[in-house]
Amino acid sequence: MNTTQKILCDTKYLKTEFDALTLGESEAEISFIGRSNVGKSSLINALCQKKKMAYVSQVPGKTRTINVYEVKRGRWIVDLPGYGYIVGSRHERERLGPTIEGYLSSREKLHMIFFIVDAVAGPTKLDIIMIGWLRHHSLPFSIVVNKIDKVKSSRFEQRKKDVVAELVVDVCDISWVSSKKNTGIVDLQKIVAKSLDIKVL
Ligand SMILES: Nc1nc2c(ncn2[C@@H]2O[C@H](COP(=O)(O)OP(=O)(O)OP(=O)(O)O)[C@@H](O)[C@H]2O)c(=O)[nH]1
Ligand SMILES: [Mg+2]
């Protein structure tokens, strides 16, 4: 285990909120957003080398609240509800959009938004709209393509080209990972630690 991994391994569940207004302040935080079922919670677990810290489900729409995990005092990893699936009661559906938007537009110490895209299904129209929204608001984001284990190796290079073209980004600005197989996780752990201003000696 390298030093970054030892630090991330200490991450613990801190709290759950329904609204960004009651979240309180962090010293530095990063968050994971993306379509429902893309693997945001799984990725947080893989980065922190936990099996069951963040709730994972086969059923889209598992994360419906803002869940905070603390790496070190005041350094937060925030798991957000996914978008794109119509699930839950009408009241809940109407709450989730403003919850995500309210969170993203109100956090003073939000150092990085990890924008997760599905390697097979994405980027979807909603992903492209969301990225446009992040760009419009000048929010700092980093794209992570998850579930690359589901792409045949013979198709991977073409898939990369397609994603890069659709998102209009540089290929080096994307992390290609599989939270299931742990591919690409070591490099992403370094980006996470850096984004949280965690000094690795
Ligand atoms: N094959 C594969 N499956 C994955 C990977 N990452 C996550 N999954 C699966 O995808 C499903 C959804 O994972 P979650 O982590 O709950 O996804 P989420 O984005 O947090 O979903 P919501 O909370 O509903 O927004 C689960 O069945 C995971 O096991 C991956 O890298 N590869
Ligand atoms: Mg989740």
Q: Which residues line ligand 1 (CB under 6 A)?
A: 34, 36-42, 56-58, 60-63, 81-82, 146-147, 149-150, 178-180
Q: What is the pLDDT of residue 88?
A: 57
Ligand 2 (ion): residues with CB under 5 Å are 40-41, 62-63
Cα Rg of the chain (Å, integer): 16
Per-residue pLDDT of the chain (201 residues; tens, 9 = 90+): 999 999 999 999 999 998 899 999 999 999 999 998 999 999 999 999 999 999 887 776 667 789 999 999 999 999 998 887 655 556 655 556 778 889 999 999 999 999 999 999 989 988 998 899 999 999 999 999 999 999 999 999 999 999 999 999 988 899 999 999 999 999 999 999 999 999 887
Q: What is the pLDDT of residue 64?
A: 77
Q: Whose CA is nearest to atom 10 of ligand 1?
A: 39
Helix axes 153-167, 125-136, angle to 10 degrees: 40
Q: What is the pTM of this model?
A: 0.94
CA 77 to centroid of ligand 2, rounded, Å: 13
- DSSP-H helix ranges across the chain: 3-9, 40-47, 90-104, 125-136, 153-167, 185-195
Q: What is the pLDDT of residue 183?
A: 98
CA 179 to centroid of ligand 1, rounded, Å: 8
> Ligand 1 pocket: which of 35, 56, 181 to mutate (most atoms <8 Å of CB)?
56
CA 27 to centroid of ligand 2, rounded, Å: 23
How far is 74 from 26, CA to CA, in rounded Å?
5
Q: Which CATH architecture has domain 3-194?
A: 3-Layer(aba) Sandwich (3.40)
Q: Which residue has the tokens 């963040």?
A: 54
Measured from the alpha carbon of residue 179, the closest ligand is 1
